[in-house]
Amino acid sequence: MNKKHLSVALSSLLVLPLLAQAGPANFATAEGADQEVVIVYKNEEGKEAALQQTTEVRHEFETVPAVSAAVSPTELRDLVNNPDIAYVERNISFGITDADVEGYSSTPKPNTAEKSRWNFQEVAPDTMWNQGFTGQGVKVAVIDSGISAHPELKIAGGVSTVGPDMTSNFADDNGHGTHVAGIIAADTGSAQVTGVAPNVSLYGIKSLGANGKGSLQDVLEGLDWAIQNKMDIINLSLGSEDDSQALHDMVDKAYEQGIIVVASAGNSGTVNNVNTDTVNYPAKYASVISVAAVDENRQHAVFSSAGPKVDFSAPGVSIVSTYPSNLPNSNGNPSYAGMDGTSQAAPHIAGELALLKEKNPSASASTLRTLLKSYAVDLGTPGRDNLYGEGFVTFKSKQDLAAPGEVNGAAVTQAKVDSLTLGWNAPADSDFKEVRVYGGTDTSFTTVTQNVYTASNLTADTDYQFRLTTVDTAGNESAGVKVNGRTLAASNNAGSPVVTPPVVTPTPTQTAPDVVNLPVVPTPAPSGGSAQIPSGGGGGGGGGFGGGGGGGAAPAPAAPAPAAPAPAAPAVVVPAKPAVTPTTPVAVTPAPTVPAPTVSEPVPTTVVLPFPDIKPTFWGRETIIWGFERGLVKGYADGQFKPGSTVTESEFLAMLIRAFEPQVKNAVSGTWSNTYYVRAKQLNLPLKGYASKTARAQKLTRVQVAELLSSANGVERTGSDAIRYVLSSGIASGSSKTQKTVASFKGSGTLTRAEALQFIKNLTEKGGGSLK
C-alpha cells in the first residue's frame, strides 16, 4: 500500500533586515534567468512597485497584500531593497512523496472488512448523524490534486490554480485529492465507503498537477480562493519542512475570518525519531489544526510526524476511500483505494469539525477547536503530548453536553396595564427544542415552543424582569438572557408598542437580582404583525444578525411595529397566582410608553434618535435618523446603533428592500430573513445566501454591495464594472476626496452599518425609484 503525503519544498524567507546584513549581491546577480517569486508589499507604493517593476505578474492576491510574478535578477534585487516591500519569497515547486509504508503500523493488520470500516467505527460519526447533524450547509474546501467525479461524491464547485491561469477544471489526475475528499464527504447507497460528514458542500481546489507537483503560488492561490469564497473549513493534506511567511500570513487571515484550517502533521516519523519535533508546515502554525495519524488500535503510526505542535490524532492507517476510476491502483477496485498517511488523518478531523459546525453554527473557529477537544480521548502520556496532541477525536459513547445558543433580539414588544408581551428569534442550532421563561428569581418556568409570550395578571406601573433560556433535544439548557419591562400606569389601559430597545444582558452565574415573581402565560402571536419578531440575529446563520465569530450579534434592522394592532384571537390565559407587589422597586430603567393612537388623523411627531452612541457630530447622523424614521434600522439590545459594525448580507438586504418595499416584513416563523430572500430571488439580486444560513451571515465586501446596488437599479454589473457604475451614477463615492476611481472605492473592504444605510439612501434619491 502506498502512503501519499504532500511534501512541500518551500524556500527560506527573504526578509529585508537579513538581506541588508548579507547584502543584495548574495541574493541575486545582474545576470541570470527570470525567477518566479511571491512579493508581499506594505502599502500602495509597494503594490505599484510589485506590479510595475516585474517582468510578468502571474497573480494578484485578494486576502493578503501580495502578488506572484516573474522577475529578472535586477528587478529582484531592486524589490528586495525597496522599503515599501515587506519581503520576497521564491516560488519553489513542491510535490507528493510516494513511499511504501505497508507494515508501519505497530499493531497487527486488520482484515479486509476492517480495513474499509475500522476508521468509521472508531470515529463513530453516526452518533452525530442520529442527532440530525451530517454537515448540511457547511462549506469544506479540499486543497489538493483536485477532485474527480465519483458516484459517492457530491461536488459543489471548485477551481484549478495549476498553470498560468485559474480554470474551472479541477478534475483529479493524481488520485490523492479524491481520496481525501471521500474521507470527509463520501455518501453512498451501496455502502462501499462513508464519509464523516456526507452532506457538506464539498469544493475541490486543484493546486497540484498530475505528477503531484505544484508551487507555492498555486497553494496560495488556492487558499486565497477558499477565503474569498467563504469556506467554513479548509483541509490541507500537504506540508513542508521549511517555513513560508506568505503561507503563514494566508492561513492566519483565514483563521481571523472564522475559517478553520486543518493540516496533516507530516509523514516524517520513524522508529528512531518519535521524540523529535518533525511536524511540517503549515501544520506547525498556531492558527492551523495539526493532525497526527494512529492505527486501528489507536496506536501512534510510526510514519506520523510528532512534536509539541500536534493538536489531535485521527485514523491514518489502511484507510479505504474514493479514487478516480480512470487511474490505476493496487486495490483491485477501480473506484476505491487504500492509503496510509497523515494526509488521511487530517480529513477525519475536518469532517468532525463540519458536524460540530452544523450543530453550533454561530461558534467561532476558536470555540469549535475547544468543542473538538471535548470529544478527544486522551492517549499516551496523560494530558497533551507530542504523539497524540490532545488525543483521539471520537463521537463514540460521547454525551452531548453543549448548550444551545441564546435567543436573539429578546424584547418586550407590547406593554399593557396588566400584561407584558415578549418576543424573540430562536437560535440557529439545529437541535434547538424550546424556550423556558422564568419570572424574576423564580426557579419554576413556563415551557413554550413559539416565539411570543404574554405574562398576565400583572400590577400596573411596575417593573418586571424575565429570564429566557434555550433547551436542546439532549436537555442542555443555556444560561439565558434577561429582559426588563414595565407595565403601563392604570390611566393608560389601551396598551402601547414598546419603541425603545429594552435592556437585555447575558445572565451572570450568580443569583439574579430580587425582582417581582410573576406567572408567565403563553399566547398565540397577535395577527397583523403588531407583535413582530424583534430584531436580532439567528436568521442569517453564524449566530445572529451580526454574523459568526462569537462576537456581539447585531440585530436585524427591523421596521417598528404598526401603530395599532389588528384584531387578534383572544389569548388563552392560564390561571396563575396573584402577582406579588414589591416593597422596594427593582432598579430598572423603565421603558418610556407611548399612548395608543386614535383612529383620527395622525398627529405629526418629531422622532428622537434613541441611540446614545450617535453623537451630534457623527457624519452619518442625518442618514441614521432617515433610516430610523422609515423603519429601516433599529438599535442593538443595549440601546446603541454601533454604526461602525460591519454589515452582513441579510442585514443589508433587509434594509434595501424595506427602503423601497416597506410592506415586506420579517418572517414570523423560521429564519427571520426568509421573506427578504424570497423577494430578492424574485428580483434576481446577486446574493449568496438564498439557501445558506452561513452565507447570509457573511460580511459583505464593498464590491458585492456595488453589484447589489447596480442590480437593484436594473443594471447588471459585476466586479470593477459595478463599482464604476455606482460611482458614475452618484450612488456611491470612493474613499478619496479628490477623485472617484475603482481603487479609491476599495472594493475588497467591508462595509459598516452607517455606510450601508448611506448607500441605500443614495439609491432612493438617485436611482430609478424602485427595485428592478
Query: 347: closest CA among 371, 319, 326?
Result: 319
Q: Is residue 605 over pLDDT 60?
A: no
With a threshold of 0.75, does the pTM exceed it?
no
pLDDT band with cut points at 50, 70 and 90 for residue 39: very high
| Predicted local confidence at residue 513, as pLDDT | 33
Alpha carbon distance 532, 560 (integer Å): 9
Q: Is residue 98 over pLDDT 90?
A: no
Q: What is the mean pLDDT of the segment spanning 416-437?
A: 88
3-class SS shares of the chain: helix, strand, coil, % to 5: 25, 20, 55
Q: Is residue 574 over pLDDT 80?
A: no
pLDDT in tens, 201-257: 999 999 988 877 778 889 999 999 999 999 999 999 988 888 889 999 999 999 999
Alpha carbon distance 212, 97 (integer Å): 8
DSSP 490-538: TT--S-EE--SPPPEEEPPSSPPPP------B--PPPGGGTTPPPS-SS
User: How many CB atoms sit inside 10 A of residue 274's CB?
Assistant: 16
- Percent of the chain at pLDDT above 70? 73
Q: What is the largest CA-CA distance in the chain?
A: 94
Task: Name the more confident of 410 and 617.
Answer: 410
The answer to whether 656 touches 704, Cβ cutoff 8 Å, is: no
Alpha carbon distance 466, 452 (integer Å): 13
The answer to whether 50 touches 95, Cβ cutoff 8 Å, is: no
Alpha carbon distance 401, 395 (integer Å): 12
Catalytic residue among 5, 59, 150, 176: 176
| Predicted local confidence at residue 279, as pLDDT | 92
Task: Name the more confident of 569 and 315.
Answer: 315
| Predicted local confidence at residue 576, as pLDDT | 35
Q: Omega into 282 within 30° of 0, i.e. cis?
A: yes
| Predicted local confidence at residue 500, as pLDDT | 39
At 758, which amino acid appears? Q
The answer to whether 176 is a known catalytic residue is yes
pLDDT in tens, 657-704: 898 888 887 765 556 777 888 888 888 888 876 656 666 777 888 888
At 43, which amino acid appears? N
Query: 179: closest CA among 357, 355, 341?
Result: 341
| Predicted local confidence at residue 416, as pLDDT | 93
| Predicted local confidence at residue 571, as pLDDT | 36
Domain boundaries, the chain: 35-91, 114-393, 408-486, 620-765
Q: Is residue 354 over pLDDT 90?
A: yes
According to CATH, the topology of domain 408-486 is Immunoglobulin-like (2.60.40)
Lookup result for grid cell 490532545 = 390
Alpha carbon distance 372, 389 (integer Å): 12
Distance of CA 514 to the CA centre of its chain: 39
Lookup result for grid cell 472564522 = 258
| Maximum average pLDDT range among 41-50, 110-119, 164-173, 402-411 | 41-50
Alpha carbon distance 344, 67 (integer Å): 32
Alpha carbon distance 7, 2 (integer Å): 15
pLDDT band with cut points at 50, 70 and 90 for residue 460: very high
pLDDT in tens, 707-740: 889 888 888 888 888 888 888 888 886 544 444 6
The answer to whether 284 touches 305, Cβ cutoff 8 Å, is: no
The answer to whether 711 is a known catalytic residue is no
| Predicted local confidence at residue 219, as pLDDT | 92
- Percent of the chain at pLDDT above 90? 32
DSSP 402-445: PPPPPPEEEEEEEE-SS-EEEEEE--S-TTEEEEEEEETT-S-E
Distance of CA 611 to the CA centre of its chain: 28
Q: Is residue 45 over pLDDT 50?
A: yes
Would the CA dihedral through 338, 341, 346, 348 be positive or negative?
positive
Distance of CA 34 to the CA centre of its chain: 40
pLDDT in tens, 249-308: 999 999 999 999 999 998 888 767 777 888 988 999 999 999 999 999 999 998 999 999
The answer to whether 279 touches 300, Cβ cutoff 8 Å, is: no
Q: What is the mean pLDDT of the segment spanning 371-398?
A: 90
Q: What is the mean pLDDT of the segment spanning 321-327?
A: 86
Task: Name the more confident of 596 and 488.
Answer: 488
Catalytic residue among 144, 172, 295, 472: 144
| Predicted local confidence at residue 187, as pLDDT | 82
| Predicted local confidence at residue 590, as pLDDT | 41
| Predicted local confidence at residue 313, as pLDDT | 96
Cβ burial of 604 (10 Å; 0-12, 13-18, 19+) is exposed
Alpha carbon distance 665, 678 (integer Å): 11
Alpha carbon distance 363, 370 (integer Å): 10
The answer to whether 232 is a known catalytic residue is no
Cα separation of the two ends of the chain:
60
Question: Which residues lie below 8 Å from residue 21, measured CB to CB, with a gap of 6+?
Answer: none
pLDDT band with cut points at 50, 70 and 90 for residue 555: very low
Q: Is residue 109 over pLDDT 90?
A: no
Alpha carbon distance 497, 286 (integer Å): 50
| Predicted local confidence at residue 616, as pLDDT | 81
pLDDT band with cut points at 50, 70 and 90 for residue 444: confident
Q: What is the mean pLDDT of the segment spanning 358-363?
A: 87
Catalytic residue among 148, 240, 318, 343: 343
The answer to whether 504 touches 481, Cβ cutoff 8 Å, is: yes
The answer to whether 545 touches 651, Cβ cutoff 8 Å, is: yes
pLDDT in tens, 494-531: 544 544 344 444 433 333 333 333 333 333 333 333 22
Alpha helices in 23-137 (DSSP H): 44-52, 73-80, 112-123, 126-129
SS3 labels along 39-52: EEECCHHHHHHHHH
CATH architecture for residues 114-393: 3-Layer(aba) Sandwich (3.40)
| Predicted local confidence at residue 720, as pLDDT | 84
Looking at the DSSP bridge assignments, the partners of residue 471 are 434, 477
Q: What is the mean pLDDT of the segment spanning 139-154?
A: 93
- Check residue 746 and give left, alpha or beta (phi > 0: left; psi -120 to 50: alpha): left
Q: Is residue 347 over pLDDT 80?
A: yes
Mean pLDDT of the chain: 76
pLDDT band with cut points at 50, 70 and 90 for residue 485: very high
Instruction: Cell numbers for 168, please give them.
Output: 474551472
CATH architecture for residues 35-91: 2-Layer Sandwich (3.30)
Query: 233: closest CA among 149, 137, 169?
Result: 137
Q: Is residue 129 over pLDDT 60?
A: yes
- How many CA atoms lie less than 13 Å away from 111 in the CB half-sphere? 1
| Predicted local confidence at residue 603, as pLDDT | 40
Which range has the worst mean pLDDT, 20-24, 38-42, 371-375? 20-24
